[in-house]
Structure 1
Amino acid sequence: MARITAGVATSHVPAIGAAIDLGKTKEPYWQPLFAGYDWSRQWIAEEKPDVVILVYNDHASAFDMKIIPTFAIGCAESFKPADEGWGPRPVPTVQGHPDLAWHIAQSCILDEFDMTIINEMEVDHGLTVPLSLLFGQPDAWPVKVIPLAVNVVTYPPPSGNRCWLLGEAIRRAVESFPGDLKVQVWGTGGMSHQLQGPRAGLINAEWDNRFLDMMSQDSQRLRTIPHIEYLRETGSEGIEMVMWLIMRGALGADVRQLHRHYHVPASNTAVGHLVLEPVA
């Protein structure tokens, strides 16, 4: 039986990817941020997951205003890094797991989630930066990846509760897959940040850390945070944190926190990172 063995949450700031690609991770500005991932890189090297279901948002690389899927699952054999305006990141092509992806798509659709099925898609920093943070700069990613893109760019994004319920549906799907696979679910994006307007540069460390607390201590409250609270407290881009709730919902009722890291700033963004495992 396939099983979900852990969940990872992390920010996916594009400047982090640039720092990795340009060899700046040891510079004084960046070193404290990357030090917070040292434990996680060692942990995942020991865990050796077979598949990562990576929840992220596209930044107008695969989708634009012509089509805006709320939840889109990548079922292709592979996904190339996107050119976001300055050339693709120098990272390996992402290898998918079509059998599990199609199984999840079928299971979730029959579970009354209207998933958009994607058979050709390029993936941007929202997906590749988390992989770089956990795996470094390998010649090939050591894990299969199923991209799960969520609309948190254009109103209306899904509610936190809907994201949580999708995570529960993904767990049911994975557990019904006949293959013997170790699966992790990653929720990416956030934390507090705003990139434009009078509040550009907003960071709310107090709210961010309460959110990190709730990921393991008060998950029911997480499900009811309204969109307006994310906007008011964490800026226009803080809504990305609802994607963490897909990961959290997939882990079940109780979790154990294995690692936590919070750092400000990275560019003009707060960076958060958690490693959680389900408690049977």
Structure 2
Amino acid sequence: MATLAAVLASTHHPFYLKATTMPVEQQMPQAAEWKRKVEAYRETLTKARPDLLVMIGSDHFHQLFLDNYPQFLIGKAPRYDATFYNEEREFGIPKYVLEGDTDLSNFMHQGLLDRGFDFAFSNELKLDHSIICPIITTRPQADLPVVPIYTNIFAPPLPSPRRFWELGRAIRSIIDEYPSDKRIAAIGTGHLSLELGGPRQFGEQGPDPEFDLQAIEWLSTGNIEAMLDSVTHESMAASGNATHGFMVMMLMLGIAGADKASYVDSFDLFHTMEAYFTWYPEGARP
């Protein structure tokens, strides 16, 4: 059977690459520390020695629109083009071509259907920065095949926080049953409190610092019960209009199994709190 070698959950900031590679004299004061933290986080994946990556993110209305926006979608292509024009223009993110793993994609899709998740699928999926940002931060050589999974955090009505957790548990059981000797890492990116286009977007810190600290505590200790008791669509909206991306972090805890995180770090980037978590499941520790 396959080995779940590591589970990584982090925020994804599209300006990271541009902010840390521009000429030093033009960089923001936080750039060097930001880069140091990301490179330390990258080591947690490198140590796991993965053979392929299951990537969980959300399409930012680049390919999925209100005329047809699935709650959950899996990519089943042999390779994936990545990065849309506006991401190149605004964020400085380069184009990528990532190899897929159709065998695991097909096995995962069937397993999800068998567990009551009616997933959409795409054989022609193009990836945006919710997938490419964690490639840049954790595997910049982009040399591993990927199985991408998109979740709906933008287009109401949204799945419940509990449904995201349950999906994480389903993905974990499928990886555990996958008939392969490969080491699989699961990487997902979402948000803590986040405001996009609203009055709290460019404050001195994230829109809800109290939620951010509580969310880091929940994730670092694996306290899914407290999250499911406390986190609702309404509470996330009160913390910032894009905070629903936190449900992807809850999904990743579902894959990890509600264990205490092996690695926790965070970075207060004046308008948002960046956070980084890694779990090494029992029996797969590097």
TM, length-normalised to structure 1: 0.90
Listed one character per residue, the Cα deviations across residues 167-191 of structure 1 (whole Å, up to 9, x for unaligned) are 1111111122111121122221212
Distance in 1, matches of 2:33 and 2:207, equals: 18
Contact residue 56 and residue 148 of structure 1 kept, 8 A: yes
Distance in 2, matches of 1:96 and 1:20, equals: 29
Shift in alpha-carbon separation, 1:11–1:132, aligned structure 2, 3 A: same
The corresponding residue for 1:120 is: 124
* Mapped pair 1:2 → 2:2: yes
The corresponding residue for 1:252 is: 257
Listed one character per residue, the Cα deviations across residues 34-85 of structure 1 (whole Å, up to 9, x for unaligned) are 2212322223223221122111111111211221011101111111113242
Listed one character per residue, the Cα deviations across residues 132-163 of structure 1 (whole Å, up to 9, x for unaligned) are 11123x3xx13221111111111122111101
RMSD: 2.1
SS of 2:196 mapped into structure 1: coil
Contact residue 164 and residue 245 of structure 1 kept, 8 A: yes
Distance in 2, matches of 1:172 and 1:205, equals: 34
The percentage of aligned residue pairs carrying the same residue is 23
The corresponding residue for 1:58 is: 59
1:32-43 alignment, distance < 5 Å? 32-43=33-44
The corresponding residue for 1:109 is: 113
Deviation at 1:260, TM superposition (A): 1.6
Deviation at 1:194, TM superposition (A): 0.5
Shift in alpha-carbon separation, 1:86–1:257, aligned structure 2, 3 A: closer
1:32-181 alignment, distance < 5 Å? 32-85=33-86, 87=88, 89-136=93-140, 138=141, 141-181=142-182
Greater alpha carbon shift after TM alignment, 151-160 vs 193-202: 193-202
Which one of 255, 268, 273 corresponds to residue 270 of structure 1? 273
Which one of 193, 209, 221 corresponds to residue 213 of structure 2? 209
Distance in 1, matches of 2:163 and 2:87, equals: 35
Unaligned runs of 5+ in 1: none
Distance in 1, matches of 2:210 and 2:172, equals: 31
Counterpart residue identity of residue 174, structure 2: A
Distance in 1, matches of 2:11 and 2:262, equals: 17
Deviation at 1:26, TM superposition (A): 7.0
Deviation at 1:3, TM superposition (A): 2.4
The corresponding residue for 1:237 is: 242
Distance in 2, matches of 1:123 and 1:135, equals: 16
Distance in 2, matches of 1:109 and 1:134, equals: 30
The corresponding residue for 2:232 is: 226
Deviation at 1:110, TM superposition (A): 1.2
Distance in 2, matches of 1:258 and 1:189, equals: 19
SS of 2:150 mapped into structure 1: strand
Deviation at 1:273, TM superposition (A): 1.0
The corresponding residue for 1:184 is: 185
Deviation at 1:96, TM superposition (A): 1.2
Distance in 2, matches of 1:176 and 1:14, equals: 34
Counterpart residue identity of residue 4, structure 2: I
Distance in 1, matches of 2:274 and 2:68, equals: 29
Contact residue 256 and residue 278 of structure 1 kept, 8 A: no
Residues matched between the structures, number: 274
The corresponding residue for 1:12 is: 12
Distance in 2, matches of 1:231 and 1:4, equals: 33
Contact residue 11 and residue 188 of structure 1 kept, 8 A: yes
Contact residue 42 and residue 138 of structure 2 kept, 8 A: yes
Shift in alpha-carbon separation, 1:61–1:161, aligned structure 2, 3 A: same
Contact residue 39 and residue 137 of structure 2 kept, 8 A: no
